[in-house]
Amino acid sequence: MNRKTIAAAVVAVVAAGGIAYWSLGSANAPLRGSSVAADSGDKAITIWRDPGCGCCDAYADYLEGNGYAVTRVDDPDFDKRSIEVGVPQQGIGCHLAEIGGYVVSGLVPAEIIDRLVTERPDITGITLPGMPANAPGMAPKKTGTLKTYAFGENGVTVYSEE
């Protein structure tokens, strides 16, 4: 096997493990709270965040201002959970979210999430790594360019650069 084949196999195993973890109904697993939130409409999103993170609250407020129904779940281990559900380690954002069966990591702008759930690409999710100073939740509004990545069975690609 070459490195690319091995990497693809590792991503597939990690994603499958994450799906199995969610399916088992762990009390702290992503998707647990989102099934309730999903009943409120297609703009229902659940965010697992570090309890002390102010930018996550600002980001949730931003999403609510853009028409989302946000469920906030305190989870100091959201970073470990992010990796378990398939977010590449170098792509971890400041919180983990789920919407419409997709994983969203970090301070992804609402219009990018809207596009994700409308287009429904064959990916596990998207991530805006780190805590960019110009991202929603860190700044009053998005300024400049943000690079969002898609990840899934086919690896990591740029999803949006706007």
Q: Give residue 16's pLDDT.
A: 36
**Sequence letter at residue 157:** T
**38-49: average pLDDT:** 78
Residues 19, 61, 71: CA angle, nearest 5 degrees: 35
pTM of the model: 0.75
**Sequence letter at residue 118:** T
Work out the pLDDT band at 52, boundaries 50, 70, 90: confident
Are 97 and 46 in contact by the 8 Å Cβ rule? The answer is yes
pLDDT above 90: residue 127: yes
Work out the pLDDT band at 13, boundaries 50, 70, 90: very low
Distance from C-alpha of 124 to C-alpha of 122, rounded to nearest angstrom? 7
What are residue 125's DSSP bridge partners?
103, 151
Angstrom distances, CA of residue 54 to CA of 87, 134, 155: 22, 15, 31
Are 150 and 158 in contact by the 8 Å Cβ rule? The answer is yes
Dihedrals phi, psi of 84, to nearest 5 degrees: -60, -30
The top-scoring range by mean pLDDT among 17-26, 96-105, 141-150 is: 96-105
Are 73 and 33 in contact by the 8 Å Cβ rule? The answer is yes
pLDDT above 70: residue 34: no
Secondary structure element (H or E) that encloses residue 50, with its range: none
Chain-wide mean pLDDT for the chain? 80
Torsion sign (Cα): 15, 79, 90, 33: positive
Are 104 and 116 in contact by the 8 Å Cβ rule? The answer is yes
Q: Give residue 65's pLDDT.
A: 94
The answer to which of 36-40, 65-69, 130-134 has the lowest mean pLDDT is: 36-40
Q: DSSP class of residue 112?
A: H
